[in-house]
Every structure is written in structure tokens, then in C-alpha cells.
């Protein structure tokens, strides 16, 4: 059985992660629920942080750790009110970004549950 990391390395790669995250942030910027939560003046920075994190977590690329240290994702999301609606919208936008950038069914099959688990863990209300 291949692991999540092996499937992503073989089927998506760094370029695929970057394209997916860019498509995700194009959607976030115009989203009525999530858009206002993100720093309008630093959407490029936000995009870079998520792409760096995913290349770190899924491909072992150390850049995120050099720049940001330990991810501490739950703590870093505490300033934002994240309930079921925000969690579900985040997932909707990420699934749409995967479809837009042609992420394969095989990669989606492992990435969607991964994102769903992390997104649910970020709920703080
Ligand atoms: C559940 C719904 C979620 C909401 C509403 C949300 C919202 C946000 C917001 C507003 C930020 C600050 C933007 C910035 O970097 O300046 C952020 C940062 C971040 N989010 Fe989320 N997020 C969610 C789920 C997730 C998930 C599922 C992941 C990972 C799979 C994730 C990974 C990150 C990372 C890596 C950062 C940057 C952390 C850092 O400062 O280094 N988020 N998120």
C-alpha cells in the first residue's frame, strides 16, 4: 500500500501543489465567508505559507520549517473563528481548486480525507 506522501509525490508533486494552492487563494479572495478572514494586503504571503506547509507535510520540503518553525496549526488558527460553516467552505474551495487544476482522482482520493481531517481539527467554536 502506498502512503499519502508517496501518492502525492508521484501524482502531484511540488508544481501540482503550488498550482492547486494558487487556485485555492484565487477563490478565497472573492469568497464572502472566508475572504474577510485573510489579510487582503498579503494574499501572496498567505498563499506562500500554505504552499510551503503542504510541500513540507506531504513532500518533506524543509522550506516551511526554515521560515515558520513548527507549524502549530491549531494555535495559529485560534485568532480566526472557525465553525462548521467555515470548515465546510474551506473544503469546498479546496475541492474546486483541485478540480480546476486537474488533480487526478487517485490523488483526490487521499488528499480530500487528509484536508477534511485537518480542517475539522481547526474548528474552535
Ligand atoms: C477549516 C477552515 C480553515 C480556515 C477558515 C482557515 C483560515 C486561515 C487563515 C485566515 C489563515 C491566515 C492567513 C495567513 O497565512 O496570513 C490561515 C493560515 C494557515 N492555514 Fe488555514 N484555515 C483553515 C484550514 C486549514 C487547513 C485544513 C490547513 C492545512 C491543511 C490550513 C493551513 C494553514 C497554514 C499552513 C497557514 C499558515 C500558518 C503560518 O502562519 O505559518 N488551514 N488559515
Task: Encode pLDDT of 32-56 as tens digits.
Answer: 999 999 999 999 999 999 999 999 9
Residue 65: predicted pLDDT = 98
**Å from CA of 53 to ligand 1 middle:** 10
Percentage of residues of the chain with pLDDT beyond 70: 100
**46 close to ligand 1 (CB < 6 Angstrom):** yes
- Total domain count for the chain? 1
Closest to 28 (Cα-Cα) out of 92, 122, 104, 108:
92
The packing angle between helices 105-121 and 4-11, to 10°, is 130
pTM: 0.97
Residue 4: predicted pLDDT = 98
CATH number, domain containing residue 62: 1.10.490.10
Residue ID of nearest Cα to ligand 1 atom 2: 87
- Domain span holding position 101: 4-121
Residue ID of nearest Cα to ligand 1 atom 43: 77
Residue 70: predicted pLDDT = 97
Amino acid at each position: 500500500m502506498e502512503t499519502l506522501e508517496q501518492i502525492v509525490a508521484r501524482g502531484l508533486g511540488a508544481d501540482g501543489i503550488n498550482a492547486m494552492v494558487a487556485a485555492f487563494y484565487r477563490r478565497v479572495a472573492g469568497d464572502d465567508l472566508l475572504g474577510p478572514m485573510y489579510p487582503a494586503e498579503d494574499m501572496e504571503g498567505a498563499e506562500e505559507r500554505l504552499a510551503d506547509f503542504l510541500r513540507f507535510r506531504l513532500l518533506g520540503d524543509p522550506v516551511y520549517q526554515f521560515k515558520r518553525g513548527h507549524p502549530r496549526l491549531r494555535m495559529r488558527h485560534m485568532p480566526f473563528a472557525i465553525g462548521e460553516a467555515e470548515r465546510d467552505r474551506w473544503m469546498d474551495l479546496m475541492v474546486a481548486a483541485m478540480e480546476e487544476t486537474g488533480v487526478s482522482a487517485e490523488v483526490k482520493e487521499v488528499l480530500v480525507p487528509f484536508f477534511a481531517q485537518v480542517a475539522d481539527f481547526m474548528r474552535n467554536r
